[in-house]
Amino acid sequence: MLLDCLDWVFREHFDVVRTPSCLTSGGSQLDQIGRLIGECAFAIVILDGLRPNVVFEYGMIHGLKKPRILLKEIGAIVDLTTYLRQPAPGPAMIDLDNQFSDVKDQNYAQWNRYDLKLTLKTIWEQYQSKMKKQVGYVDIPKPRICL
């Protein structure tokens, strides 16, 4: 749902590119992701499971000093089975101060997968507040939705 919302807000103004679906076969994932991040106007990091690849890509985004928007899903959990390779005792809520502590000084916005209207509003507000002073800023009208 969040990816659809991102498309809805940005598709008329930016080419929305997502990893890993935009990668081509036969090439280095690392090289392709590095090139995409290097060429992007800004990045949106979706913290909905704290997967290692997302944390690594965030590091590349930070290292290349790209403007970024952090979106943390309200009910996000860490999927411990991806770390343990065995059944986990149960899900753990994401605690960014501990599990993502190197960037705890970064502000993030929360989104809710069950509230489309609020999610669209959050994405648009975050873009406006974080990107308005950046080179390449494009004024995007506030998304309108009728439910």
Model confidence pLDDT, tens digit, residues 70-108: 998 988 887 676 667 777 677 777 777 777 777 767 778
- Contact call for residues 61 and 37 (beta carbons, < 8 A): yes
**Domains of the chain, with CATH numbers?**
2-131 (3.40.50)
What per-residue confidence (pLDDT) applies to 23?
Answer: 81
Distances (CA, A) of 87 to 4, 21, 51: 31, 28, 17
pTM of the model: 0.81
- Contact call for residues 119 and 111 (beta carbons, < 8 A): yes
What per-residue confidence (pLDDT) applies to 52?
Answer: 81
User: How many angstroms separate the CA atoms of 141 and 90, rounded?
Assistant: 42
